[in-house]
Amino acid sequence: MTDRNTSDLLIQVAMRAEALPIIHLLSLKPIGRMDPNLPSELWQGIVHGHCISLVTNGCDPEFDCDRIGTESAAIVAFLALRITRPKLIFNAGTCGGFASQGATIGDIYMPTRFLFHDQRVALPKFDAFAKGEKTTADFPKIRSATNAKHGTCSTGSSLDTTVDEMAFFAAESVTCKDMEAAAIIRVARDFQTPFIALKAVTDLVDHRQTVQEAFLTNLKFATGRLADAVDHAARVFSAV
Going by C-alpha positions, the residue among 76, 71, 170, 155 that lies closest to residue 109 is 155
Please pick, from the candidates 76, 179, 182, 185, the single residue that binds ligand ADE as defined by CB under 6 A: 179
Integer Cα distance of 202 and 97 in angstroms: 8
Nearest to ligand ADE of 183, 211 (CB atom): 211
The reply on whether position 69 binds ligand ADE by CB under 6 A is no
Integer Cα distance of 127 and 113 in angstroms: 17
> Sign of torsion, CA 174 199 42 58?
positive
Residue range at the interface with ligand ADE (CB under 6 A); choices 34-42, 57-65, 94-102, 230-238: 94-102
The reply on whether position 174 binds ligand ADE by CB under 6 A is no
Please pick, from the candidates 215, 221, 228, 231, the single residue that binds ligand ADE as defined by CB under 6 A: 215
Torsion angle, alpha carbons of 98, 182, 29, 20, to 10:
-20
Going by C-alpha positions, the residue among 66, 81, 100, 79 that lies closest to residue 188 is 81
The reply on whether position 240 binds ligand ADE by CB under 6 A is no
The reply on whether position 40 binds ligand ADE by CB under 6 A is no
Among residue numbers 138 through 167, which ones bind ligand ADE (CB under 6 A)?
Answer: 159
**Which residues are paired to 42 by β-bridges?**
32, 55
Integer Cα distance of 172 and 153 in angstroms: 10
Among residue numbers 15 through 34, which ones bind ligand ADE (CB under 6 A)?
Answer: none
Nearest to ligand ADE of 86, 96 (CB atom): 96
The reply on whether position 74 binds ligand ADE by CB under 6 A is no
Is 18 marked active-site?
A: yes
Considering only the C-alpha atoms of the chain, give the largest distance between any 2 of them, rounded to a whole number of Å. 50
Nearest to ligand ADE of 182, 211 (CB atom): 211
- Site size for ligand ADE, by CB under 6 A? 12
In the complex, least distance from residue 28 CB atom to ligand ADE, rounded to whole angstroms: 22
What positions carry a catalytic annotation? Answer: 18, 203
